[in-house]
Structure 1
Amino acid sequence: MTERTEREAAIGAAADRLVTAADRQEPCAPVRDVLGTVDIDGAYQVQRRLTALRLTGGAVVSGRKIGLTSPAVQQQLGVDQPDFGVLFADMDVTAYPEVPMSRLLQPKAEAEIAFVLAADLDGDDISPADVRAAVACAAPALEIVDSRIAGWDITITDTVADNASSGLYVLGETRLPLDAFEPRAATMRMFLDGVLVSEGSGAACLGDPLTALLWLARTARAYGEPLRAGQVVLSGALGPMVGVSPGETVVAEISALGTVSATFSEKDAS
């Protein structure tokens, strides 16, 4: 078997393992045993295979999510770059009375700034000014991250292959244009059942959530899948993520953007 054939087999094996875990709602072993820990492009190939399967099944892309924006998390995983995943329309549970725990395996909540795009980001040399001009508005968001990998035992290749450990997301009601809100200056407090469990700021997200968006715009275009008008981008955690359990309520306060909240259903709720 040639090296290329071995790599293709590894990518297929990793994709199959993650699909099975999602279908059975049972966490699986890490996929780094077949992908290794350095082949990030191979991990994105796994992610693209899983995305193609979802699209074939009728799913609709609603945007992207950026992960690994915190220096502390990057150091923990031994990486020096963020990653990204795909958001699908059915991940948006903003209108749900409760977040359906039946769709999650090992959920954790993160408070983030979401950007809604008014224009495509598909130029040859995307600049910070291009990114700022493309943002229609910012909104407070809760990302409910999840992992198909048992015990969150992940490296960079595990999480990239697993669609950047994506789960669901909730958007708050406030929408502010960037001339009324500076993401880098945002402060965040997140509460679990009324207890403060996470604090942070816009500066904790690659120094500025708009810097994270710039990185994503350039990277997505390099992979041939540029960001499009109307898409939502979850720009990365403003503070530590927190595990959540059935029946708990998470509320995040993000300075001028106000609050966003989510109550998690009992596990057997649909």
Structure 2
Amino acid sequence: MDDQTRSRVAAELLAAYDTKVPLEPLTATHEGMGLEDAYVIQQLQIQERIAGGRVVRGHKVGLTSAAMQRLLGVSEPDYGHLLDDFFHLEHAPIPVSQFLQPRVEPEVAFVLKKPLQGPGVTVHEALQAVDFVLPALEIVDSRIRDWTIGLFDTIADNASSGAVVLGSTPTAVDAVDLRLAGATFHRNGVVVGTGAGGAVLGSPLNSLVWLANTVGARGVTLEADHVVLPGAVCAMAPVAAGDVFTATFAGLGSVTARFV
């Protein structure tokens, strides 16, 4: 894709946030689209949002489960950016109308206390950079019609990011085995999913290391105080107005998101 096409696709994706009209799959309308095109399109949107006053507050990692990787025919995750206006307070009403086709998934969020710069980051270095972990609910969303996405579609669309709700129970990263930390995911009091941290690349820490090294190769540092969402511990669930979602993690506490 040439620069003009990349810019046009980025503008179309940005417009979808406001119009709430999803796009056709990008990989169908732009057959020559590749991995680098997708990440450039994502970055063009982030640059535009920053120019409009938004601030990057972290990153998210997607496609961390074996099932999702098989579904999209990929062998590694992808990543997107978390902006300051993505964050919603726990229990505070979240308007469904601000999204196109939202879904919710439970995650363990890392909060960093010092920068993490790859490539070459190890698990040991990642552990040293983490201040604490929090239970979290990520609201994923897609600007692509009916979630008919391939790898390049979701990367270009900021890894299908929507919003995030963080819990209020910080836990030291060495106080719990994140691989074995089980989670129960409720929608309106009914269990809609269960899982554990091991579903995320074997451990959420592996996802953090992957992210630091992947963005580091692109000249990006994971900054102190930033939030990293390493990936979902179970399948996502669709959202409707009136829904209340709660994820409870063993050893980490719970987090609740309310939608109106």
Matches within 5 A, 1:92-241: 92-94=87-89, 97-123=92-118, 125-241=120-236
Residue identity opposite 1:30 in structure 2: P
Q: Report the equivalent of 1:63.
A: 58
Match of 1:33 among 28, 50, 53: 28
**Contact 1:14–1:35 (8 Å) recurs in 2:** no
Secondary structure of the 1:237 match is coil
**In the comparison of the two structures, how many residue pairs are matched?**
260
Query: Where does the alignment leave 5 or more consecutive residues of structure 1 unmatched?
Result: 1-5, 266-270
**Contact 2:90–2:255 (8 Å) recurs in 1:** no
2:54 and 2:60 map into 1 onto residues whose CA distance is 16
1:212 and 1:106 map into 2 onto residues whose CA distance is 26
Query: How far is 1:50 from its partner?
Result: 0.1
**Contact 1:11–1:35 (8 Å) recurs in 2:** no
Indicate the larger mover: 41-50 or 26-35: 26-35
Residue identity opposite 1:157 in structure 2: F
The normalised TM-score by structure 2 is 0.96
Residue identity opposite 1:79 in structure 2: V
**Contact 1:35–1:43 (8 Å) recurs in 2:** no
Question: Per-residue CA shift, 1:39-58, capped at 9, x if unaligned?
Answer: 11110000000000000000
Alignment of 1:249 onto 2:244 = yes
Query: How far is 1:38 from its partner?
Result: 6.4
Secondary structure of the 2:97 match is helix
What is the CA RMSD across the aligned residues, in angstroms? Answer: 1.4
**Contact 1:32–1:155 (8 Å) recurs in 2:** yes
Question: Per-residue CA shift, 1:2-56, capped at 9, x if unaligned?
Answer: xxxx432332232122122112121111111344476111100000000000000
Residue identity opposite 1:212 in structure 2: S
1:71 and 1:146 map into 2 onto residues whose CA distance is 20
Query: Where does the alignment leave 5 or more consecutive residues of structure 2 unmatched?
Result: none
Query: How far is 1:123 from its partner?
Result: 4.8
Residue identity opposite 2:155 in structure 1: V
Match of 2:67 among 57, 72, 80: 72
The normalised TM-score by structure 1 is 0.93
**Contact 1:10–1:34 (8 Å) recurs in 2:** no
Query: How far is 1:125 from its partner?
Result: 2.0
Q: Report the equivalent of 2:256.
A: 261
**Contact 2:54–2:85 (8 Å) recurs in 1:** yes
1:99 and 1:182 map into 2 onto residues whose CA distance is 31
1:59 and 1:199 map into 2 onto residues whose CA distance is 34
1:124 and 1:72 map into 2 onto residues whose CA distance is 27
**Contact 1:14–1:34 (8 Å) recurs in 2:** no
Question: Per-residue CA shift, 1:110-156, capped at 9, x if unaligned?
Answer: 00000000111125521110001100000000000000111001000
